[in-house]
């Protein structure tokens, strides 16, 4: 085996800070670019440890084929005896918002009502009169293809005019809209190896793309390199007093979902109760926020990886 760890990735920029931190530490690592790739199930694994950093949002970058290849590769690696961090169970959960909702239901964690559908008439019949509602792709990512729809007529019209919204898997969701203080934003907690790394408030000004990557949402709000840009810069603020019950719920989701690294998002609803709505296995750590807590997040990831080795 030529490397101790191999990082599976698709985005051309997101993993560069991790690669730099691994190089600086002298870790023997390789990379596997999922965008245009091939693998022989008989010839793997090629490392003691794999770290999955694939993203469900690959399709918004015209890398739709990266996701099914990643899932197939990870399953083959696991069958072949390799250890994969954020492996097939975690990745499959990230690819399915309906499965995330089902997991939250089983664990007794407050979450929005969610309806998965492949036919708009069936969805309208099943949804009832709970409008407005959020329209989301089952395989979400980067807030892409999300809309607030006000009525059944608007939903029908939108899907008639935008048949591309059914991509990549022809499965969509209606989700309950939760009222909250938009000026406070949502809360995103980052977890690593069974511990809370840090938490932050994310104020999006109505945008759905809350990606914490500095490439997608830079601190200057100007040098944006993202396929789903926001009309106004997204703002990130450290949140140092996260309620204990929210952290416990996040840790439970991480453990039951099989995630080694990940971001859990929730809304502080107008009723005061946290409402959880998103589980992210591909966690784009935000260095400026982590520095507010006194550390470099990518150094912490390298510590975790070397400990696993």
Entry pTM: 0.93
CA proximity to 53, closest of 214, 257, 278, 259: 259
Give buried/exposed letters for 269-305 (b at 16+ CB in 10 A, else e): eeeeebbbbbbbbbbbbbbebbebeeeebbebbbebb
For the chain, the maximum distance between any two Cα atoms, rounded to a whole number of angstroms, is 58
CA proximity to 52, closest of 29, 70, 25: 70
User: CA 76, 282, 290: angle at the middle one, nearest 5?
Assistant: 140
- Under DSSP, the state recorded for 264 is E
Kind of pairing between the strands at 29-33 and 3-9 = parallel
Where helices occur in the chain by DSSP H, the ranges are: 16-25, 66-79, 88-94, 97-107, 120-127, 152-161, 244-257, 287-292, 297-308
User: CA 258, 303, 186: angle at the middle one, nearest 5?
Assistant: 55
d(CA 272, CA 182): 14
- Encode pLDDT of 36-66 as tens digits: 999 999 998 999 899 999 999 999 899 999 9
d(CA 305, CA 25): 11
- Under DSSP, the state recorded for 177 is P
CA proximity to 86, closest of 297, 230, 301, 241: 301
Identify the pLDDT of residue 218.
Answer: 78
Contacts of 133 (CB under 8 A, 6+ apart): 127, 148, 149, 155, 174, 175, 176, 177
User: CA 37, 40, 43: angle at the middle one, nearest 5?
Assistant: 125
Identify the pLDDT of residue 227.
Answer: 57
CB 170 within 8 A of CB 194: no
d(CA 46, CA 82): 9
Q: Which residues, given as ranges, of the chain have pLDDT below 70?
A: 1, 142, 209, 220-231
All domains of the chain in start order, with CATH:
3-86 (3.40.50.20), 94-110+180-296+304-308 (3.30.470.20), 114-176 (3.30.1490.20)
């Amino acid at each position: 085996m030529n490397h101790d760890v191999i990082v599976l990735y698709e985005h051309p920029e997101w993993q560069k800070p991790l690669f730099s931190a691994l190089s600086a530490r002298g870790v023997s690592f390789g990379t596997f670019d999922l965008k245009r790739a091939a693998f022989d199930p008989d010839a793997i694994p090629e490392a003691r440890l794999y770290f999955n950093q694939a993203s469900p949002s690959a399709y918004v970058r015209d890398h739709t084929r990266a996701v099914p290849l990643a899932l197939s590769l990870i399953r083959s690696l696991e069958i072949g005896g390799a250890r994969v961090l954020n492996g097939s169970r975690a990745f499959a959960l990230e690819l399915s918002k309906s499965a995330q909702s089902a997991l939250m239901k089983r664990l007794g964690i407050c979450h929005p009502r969610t309806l998965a559908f492949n036919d708009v008439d069936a969805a309208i019949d099943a949804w009832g009169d709970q409008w407005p509602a959020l329209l989301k792709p089952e395989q979400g990512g980067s807030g892409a293809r999300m809309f607030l729809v006000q009525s059944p007529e608007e939903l029908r019209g939108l899907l008639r005019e935008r048949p591309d919204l059914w991509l990549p898997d022809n499965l969509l969701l209606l989700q309950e809209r939760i009222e909250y203080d938009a000026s406070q934003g949502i809360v995103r907690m980052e977890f690593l190896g069974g511990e809370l790394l840090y938490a932050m408030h994310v104020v999006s000004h109505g945008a759905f793309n809350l990606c914490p990557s500095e490439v997608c949402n830079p601190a200057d709000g100007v040098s944006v390199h993202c396929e789903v840009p926001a009309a106004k810069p997204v703002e990130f603020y450290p949140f140092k007093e996260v309620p204990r019950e929210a952290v416990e719920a996040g840790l439970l989701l991480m453990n039951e979902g099989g995630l080694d690294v990940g971001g859990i998002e929730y809304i502080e609803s107008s009723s005061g109760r946290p409402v959880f709505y998103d589980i992210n296995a591909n966690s784009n750590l935000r260095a400026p926020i982590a520095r507010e807590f006194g550390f470099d997040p990518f150094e912490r990831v390298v510590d975790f990886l070397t400990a696993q080795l």
